[in-house]
């Protein structure tokens, strides 16, 4: 009898604590919502979709470039549109973006369509999130609901872009750490790397693998030899390092799981791609996921969508933080 009083008292106490915690959690996450612009910009999704359709019609690769832009935004100071800012501290001048990040004019065009219909209410960070989502869909991939309500940052962070964005020359360990810093885990590393099922990379990002890898006098041993030969022709020594090769040679513009099948055959383009399967660290981290995704498209899609949502929710500015930029390239005066 006494025991059950104590126990029900304990239950009531823990129930209250749980309710308080639940309420706090709700407050913390309810700042981003799927219907954030329902009243203030009801046609937002349509305007963005139209803008992407027209950009991709002009150039199929643009979908890939825009997905990458969203990723490079979110890894530096969170998803705050900082990658879009011009100026002396611009992230566009950081090593991973310089002469490489593209699609800014497409964002400008979509932002100006959005502004002409609902002026001053939709952030550049949210536009970039919607743009990435639609780019995946229009490349033949899945779609999902995105939470909105991000606000735009007031500063760019060139140092942040130099140090936080993964490099194709990083070790697997370094890549995993750069994801962990922003709250993403090994599943996210592998599923999001699956974005390399679309788009292109410059010779500059993989030519180190082609002739004298690590001073061996030979190409990277984990690069399939016919592919290595073809890439040597595209990217000869002292040649033009701006030439490009598809990240997924099998189905260049189509969002599918062929990227992972390639890795099983040593046909990853970037050193960092192939490491997910071939690194010494891979068996204890990423390898089994590469194998699973290579044989199970649905699992890849499910995990990819979850990871895209996680990435889009990295440190958003909400409430009264930041601002709604009028022009994505400059902070409001």
| Residues taking part in catalysis | 72
- Of 100, 187, 292, 315, the residue at the interface with ligand NAG (CB under 6 A) is 187
Q: How far apart are CA 176 and CA 185, in angstroms?
A: 7
The neighbouring-strand residues paired with 151 are 317
Partner interacting with residue 198 (select from ligand NAG, ligand HEM, none; CB below 5-8 Å by kind) = ligand HEM
204 binding ligand NAG? (CB under 6 A): no
Sequence-ordered alpha helix ranges (H) in 139-278: 158-164, 172-181, 186-193, 225-234, 258-264, 271-278
Minimal CB distance residue for ligand HEM: 199
Q: For 142-178, b where at least 16 C-beta lie within 10 A, e where not — what string?
A: eeeebbbbbbbbbebbbebbbebbbbbebebeebbeb
| Residue nearer to ligand HEM on the CB measure, 41 or 269 | 269
CB 266 within 8 A of CB 224: yes
The neighbouring-strand residues paired with 202 are 244
Taking each helix axis from N to C end, the angle separating 44-58 and 62-74, rounded to the nearest 10 degrees, works out to 130
| Residue nearer to ligand HEM on the CB measure, 122 or 184 | 184
Cβ at position 145, least distance to ligand HEM in Å: 18
| Residues 251-310 interacting with ligand NAG (rule: CB under 6 A) | 310
Cβ at position 107, least distance to ligand HEM in Å: 14
Closest by Cα among 62, 117, 120, 70 to 97: 70
| Residue nearer to ligand HEM on the CB measure, 36 or 75 | 75
- Of 112, 177, 214, 298, the residue at the interface with ligand NAG (CB under 6 A) is 214
Return the DSSP state at 280: T
205 binding ligand NAG? (CB under 6 A): no
CB 209 within 8 A of CB 271: yes
**Site residues for ligand HEM per CB under 6 A:** 61, 64-65, 67-68, 71, 100, 102, 166-168, 175, 189, 192-193, 195-196, 198-202, 205, 247, 270, 272
The DSSP result for 106-173, as a single string, is HHHHHHHHHHHHSTTTS-HHHHHHHHHHHHHHHTT-------B--BB-S---HHHHHHHS--TTS-HH
208 binding ligand NAG? (CB under 6 A): no
| Residues 138-177 interacting with ligand NAG (rule: CB under 6 A) | 155, 157-160, 162-164
Q: What's the token pair of residue 283?
A: 């068996």
| Residue nearer to ligand HEM on the CB measure, 37 or 246 | 246
Partner interacting with residue 167 (select from ligand HEM, ligand NAG, none; CB below 5-8 Å by kind) = ligand HEM
| Residue nearer to ligand NAG on the CB measure, 148 or 289 | 289
| Residue nearer to ligand HEM on the CB measure, 41 or 195 | 195
Cβ at position 163, least distance to ligand NAG in Å: 5
Catalog residues that contact ligand NAG under the rule CB under 6 A: 77, 94-95, 155, 157-160, 162-164, 185-187, 214, 310
């Amino acid at each position: 009898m006494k025991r059950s009083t104590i126990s029900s008292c304990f239950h009531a106490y823990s129930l209250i604590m749980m309710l308080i915690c639940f309420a706090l959690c709700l407050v913390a996450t309810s700042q981003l919502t799927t219907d954030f612009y329902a009243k203030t910009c009801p046609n937002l999704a349509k305007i963005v979709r139209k803008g992407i359709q027209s950009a991709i019609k002009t150039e199929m690769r643009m979908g890939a470039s825009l997905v990458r832009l969203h990723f490079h935004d979110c890894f530096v100071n969170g998803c705050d549109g900082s990658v879009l800012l011009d100026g002396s501290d611009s992230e566009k001048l950081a090593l991973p973006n310089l002469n490489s990040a593209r699609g800014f004019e497409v964002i400008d065009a979509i932002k100006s369509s959005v502004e002409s219909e609902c002026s001053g209410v939709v952030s550049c960070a949210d536009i970039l999130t919607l743009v990435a989502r639609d780019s995946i869909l229009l490349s033949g991939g899945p779609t999902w609901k995105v939470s909105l309500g991000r606000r735009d940052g007031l500063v760019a962070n060139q140092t942040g872009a130099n140090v936080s964005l993964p490099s194709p020359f990083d070790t697997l360990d370094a890549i995993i750490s750069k994801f962990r810093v922003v709250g993403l885990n090994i599943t996210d590393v592998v599923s999001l790397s699956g974005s390399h099922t679309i788009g292109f990379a410059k010779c500059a990002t993989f030519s180190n693998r082609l002739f004298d890898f690590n001073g061996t006098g030979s190409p990277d041993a984990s690069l399939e030899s016919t592919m290595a030969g073809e890439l040597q022709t595209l990217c000869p020594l002292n040649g033009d390092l701006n030439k490009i090769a598809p990240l997924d040679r099998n189905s260049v513009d189509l969002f599918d799981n062929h990227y992972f099948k390639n890795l099983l055959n040593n046909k990853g383009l970037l050193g960092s791609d192939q490491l997910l399967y071939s690194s010494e660290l891979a068996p204890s981290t990423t390898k089994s996921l590469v194998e699973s995704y290579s044989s199970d498209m649905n699992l890849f899609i499910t995990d990819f969508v979850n990871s895209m949502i996680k990435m889009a929710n990295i440190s958003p500015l909400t409430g009264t933080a930041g601002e709604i930029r009028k022009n994505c390239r400059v902070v409001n005066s």
